[in-house]
Amino acid sequence: MSDFTRTIHLTVNGEAHRCKVAPRQHLVDFLREDLGLTGSHLGCEHGVCGACTVRLDGRVVRGCLVLAVQADGRSVETVEGLSEGGSVRDLQDAFVARNALQCGYCTPGMLMAAAELLETRPDATRDEVRVAISGNYCRCTGYQAIVDAVCDVLARRKAAGAEAPVTAAVVSIGAGARP
Ligand code: FES
Ligand code: FES
């Protein structure tokens, strides 16, 4: 890190942080290297693959295209926070049931993208699921299974006519994927 740093204040997964960062440090590098949140992965590092997907003030962004200083005063959620909150437990279970992860490298970004779709488009069609995850690359090419898993959850939530189950259980799929 260069000698020139700037102090930022932000909330990550509900926890307040005050940190010194280099102005050029990307948000995903800050999360991984400074906070130890290695669930967000680095793939292309130029906004194409989606492996670094996180939420900034509730909206999905590419962590490799956002500087850590741009998160000053804002709220960040990573796949760890998403998982620990329990709101995607059914999605994680569906990924397992459908064998929608192989090496798991894309899984955190896929979960973040799919979670946003589930929240914002509960009536999404299969084609719309494909579009929603089209910005996330799976190098193992398991797209069919991923789409199947998301569609399963859409159908189940619709049938239940209720919000996604919220449990205290911590499921580490995605959040526990290797760095
Ligand atoms: S690492 Fe950010 S989009 Fe690929
Ligand atoms: S499961 Fe390997 S990159 Fe998607």
Distance, CA of 2 to CA of 145 (rounded, Å) = 44
Could you give all domains of the chain from N- to C-terminal order, each with its CATH number? 6-82 (3.10.20.30), 83-160 (1.10.150.120)
Q: Distances from the Cα of 77 to the Cαs of 27, 53, 131, 140, 175, in angstroms? A: 11, 10, 23, 26, 12
pLDDT in tens, 34-89: 999 999 999 999 999 999 999 999 999 999 999 999 999 999 999 999 999 999 99
> Ligand 1: which of 26, 31, 44 to mutate, most ligand atoms within 8 Å of CB?
44
Please report which ligand is nearest the Cα atom of 139.
2
- Alpha carbons within 13 angstroms on the beta-carbon side of residue 148 total 13
d(CA 84, CA 149): 20
How does the average pLDDT of the chain come out, rounded? 91
Query: Which band of pLDDT confidence, cut at 50, 70 and 90, is reported for residue 2?
Result: low
pLDDT of residue 161: 83
What pLDDT is stored for residue 177 in this prediction? 47
Q: What is the pTM of this model?
A: 0.88
CA 109/CA 134 separation, integer angstroms? 11
